[in-house]
Structure 1
Amino acid sequence: MDAFYIVTLASMSLILIAAFSSLLAERFGAPLLLLFLVIGLLAGVDGLGIDFSNNSAAFMLGSIALAIILFDSGYGTSLHSFRQAAVPALTLATLGVALTAALFGVAARFLLDFSWLEGLLLGSIVASTDAAAVFFLLRAGGINIRDKVRATLEVESGTNDPMAIFLTTALVTVVASGAGMESAGADLLILFVKQIGLGLMFGLAGGIVIVEIMRRVPVERGLAPIFVLALALLVFAYTSVLGGSGFLAVYVAGIYTGNKKIKPRSSILRFQEGMTWLAQIVMFLVLGLLATPSQFPQIALPAVALAIFLVFIARPLAVWLCLLPFEYTQRETGFVAWVGLRGAVSILLAILPILGSLENGQLYFNTTFIVVMVSLAIQGWTVKPMARRLGLIVPPQIGAIDKLELDLPGTANHELLAYRVVANSPVLRGERIPRWARPSLVIRDGKSMRYQYAGRLQENDHVYLFIAPGFSRLLDRLFASPVEVSDDDSEFFGTFKIDPAGTGEELEQAYGPGLLSPAERAMTVAELMKRRLGETIDYADRVKIGRIVLIVRAIDERGQISSVGISLEPVERATRLPLFLNLRDIMHRLRERARKGRGQAN
Structure 2
Amino acid sequence: MMITAENILLIGSILIFCSILISKTGYRFGIPTLLLFLLVGMLFGSDGLGIQFNSASDAQFVGMVALSIILFTGGMDTKLQEVRPVMVQGILLSTVGVLLTTLLTGTFIFYISGWNSTNIELTFMVSLLLAATMSSTDSASVFNLLRSQRMNLKENLRPMLELESGSNDPMAYMLTIVLIEVISSGSELSAWHIGQGLFTQFVFGGIIGYAFGRFAIWMINKINLSNSSLYPILLLSLIFITFTLTDFVKGNGYLAVYILGVVVGNAKLAFRKDINTFMDGLTWLFQIIMFLTLGLLVNPHELLDVAGVALLIGLFMIVIARPVSIFACLLPFRHISHKARLFVSWVGLRGAVPIIFATYPVIAQIPGSNQLFNIVFFITLLSLVLQGMTIAKVAKWLKLDLPQEKEGNDFGIELPDEIDSQLHEIILTPELLKSGNRLADMHIPQGTLVMLIKRGNEFLIPNGQAELHAGDKLLIISENKSVPQAQ
Which amino acid is the alignment partner of residue 185 of structure 2?
Answer: S
Determine the structure 2 residue equivalent to 1:57.
Answer: 58
Deviations 1:547-583 (A, max 9, x none): xxxxxxxxxxxxxxxxxxxxxxxxxxxxxxxxxxxxx
CA distance in structure 2 between the aligned counterparts of 1:428 and 1:124, rounded to whole angstroms? 63
The 3-state SS of whatever aligns with 1:404 is coil
Maintained 8 Å contact 2:150/2:404: no
Deviations 1:289-348 (A, max 9, x none): 110111111111001111111111110111010100012100000000000000100000
- Corresponding letter in the other structure for 2:66: A
Identify which of 412, 418, 421 aligns with 1:404.
412
The answer to whether the 8 A contact 2:349-2:388 is kept is yes
Partner of 2:198: 192
Asked if residue 318 in structure 1 is aligned to residue 294 in structure 2, the reply is no
Q: Is contact 1:97-1:160 (8 Å) kept?
A: yes
Q: Is residue 208 of structure 2 the alignment partner of residue 207 of structure 1?
A: no
Q: Which residue is 2:238 aligned to?
A: 231
Match of 1:373 in 2: 381
Please tell me whether the aligned partners of residues 210 and 228 of structure 1 are also in contact (alpha carbons under 8 angstroms). Answer: yes
SS of residue paired to 1:451:
coil
The superposition leaves residues 222-250 of structure 1 with CA deviations (integer Å, 9 ceiling, x where unpaired) of 22222222212221221111111111011
Q: Give 1:152-551 correspondences, 5 Å limit.
A: 152-182=160-190, 185-219=191-225, 220-326=227-333, 327-395=335-403, 402-407=410-415, 413-415=419-421, 417=423, 433-442=444-453, 449-456=461-468, 459=471, 465-468=476-479, 471=481, 474=483
What letter corresponds to residue 213 of structure 2 in structure 1? G
Relative contact order higher in (CA < 8 Å, ≥ 6 apart)? 2
Q: Using a 3 Å threshold, how does the CA distance of structure 1 residues 460 and 323 change in structure 2: closer, same or farther?
A: same
Look up the match of 1:87: 88
Q: Distance in 2 between matches of 1:345 and 1:3?
A: 27
TM-superposed deviation, 1:397: 7.3
| 8 A contact 2:454–2:460 mirrored in 1 | yes
Letter aligned with residue 451 of structure 1: N
Residue 454 of structure 1: SS of its match in structure 2? coil
1-structure distance, mates of 2:163, 2:346 = 16
Cα distance in structure 2, aligned partners of 1:427 and 1:267: 37
Contact in 2 for aligned 1:401/1:422 (Cα 8 Å): no
CA distance in 2, matches of 1:355, 1:438: 62
Contact map agreement 1:199 1:245 (CA 8 A) in 2: yes
Give, in whole Å, the separation in 2 of the partners of 1:255 and 1:265: 14
- How far the C-alpha of 1:3 sits from its partner, in A, is 4.7
Counterpart CA distance in 2 for 1:318 and 1:82 is 21
- The match for 1:36 is 37
- Output the CA distance in 2 between the equivalents of 1:427 and 1:69: 45
State the Cα distance separating 1:435 from its structure 2 match: 3.1
CA distance in 1, matches of 2:36, 2:60: 20
Residue pair 1:406, 1:418 contacting (<8 A) in 2 also: no
Q: Which moved more, 1:294-303 or 1:440-449?
A: 440-449
Q: Is the 8 A contact 1:403 1:417 kept in 2?
A: no
Could you tell me which runs of 5 or more consecutive residues in structure 2 were left unpaired when the two chains were aligned: 113-119
SS of 2:361's partner is helix
Query: Which aligned pairs between 1:579-594 and structure 2 lie closer than 5 A?
Result: none
Shift in CA distance, 397/285, structure 1 to aligned 2, threshold 3 Å: closer
In the alignment, residue 435 of structure 1 is paired with which amino acid?
Q
- Code of the residue aligned with 2:100 in structure 1: it is L
TM-score by length of 2: 0.89
Cα 1:396/1:158, change in 2 over 3 Å: closer
- Residue 137 of structure 2 corresponds to residue 129 of structure 1: yes
CA–CA distance in structure 1, aligned partners of residues 454 and 340 of structure 2: 46
Matched to 1:210, the amino acid is A
Contact 1:339–1:379 under 8 Å retained in 2: yes
Deviation at 1:439, TM superposition (A): 2.2
Distance 1:427 1:302 in 2: 66
Q: Map 1:544-563; keep pairs closer than 5 Å.
A: none
Distance 1:433 1:94, change over 3 A: farther
User: SS in structure 2 opposite 1:64?
Assistant: helix
Query: Residues of 2 paired with 1:395 and 1:415: CA distance?
Result: 26
Quote how far apart the aligned CAs of 1:147 are.
5.6
The answer to which of 278-287 and 218-227 deviates more is 218-227
Post-superposition shift, 1:149? Answer: 0.9
CA–CA separation in structure 2 for the residues paired with 1:398 and 1:11: 35
Normalising to structure 1: TM-score of the pair? 0.73
3-state SS in 2 of match to 1:180? coil
- What is the deviation of 1:138? 1.1
Q: Distance in 1 between matches of 2:483 and 2:454?
A: 22
The Cα of 1:440 is off from its aligned counterpart by 3.9
- Report deviation, 1:77: 0.8
The CA distance in 1 between the partners of 2:239 and 2:433, in whole Å, is 44
CA distance in 1 between partners of 2:430 and 2:14 (Å):
43
The answer for unaligned runs of 5 or more in structure 1 is 479-602
Residue correspondences, number:
468
Q: Please list, as runs of the form range in 1=range in 2, the aligned pairs for 1:12-31 lying within 5 A after superposition.
A: 12-31=13-32
Does the CA contact (< 8 Å) of 1:405 and 1:415 recur in 2?
no
Change (3 A) 1:16 1:343: same
Q: Distance in 2 between matches of 1:456 and 1:108?
A: 69
SS of the residue aligned with 1:438?
strand
Larger Rg: 1
Q: 1:199, CA displacement in angstroms?
A: 0.6
Compared with structure 1, are the counterparts of its residues 8 and 427 closer, same or farther at alpha carbon in structure 2 (3 Å cutoff)? farther
Shift of 1:467: 3.4
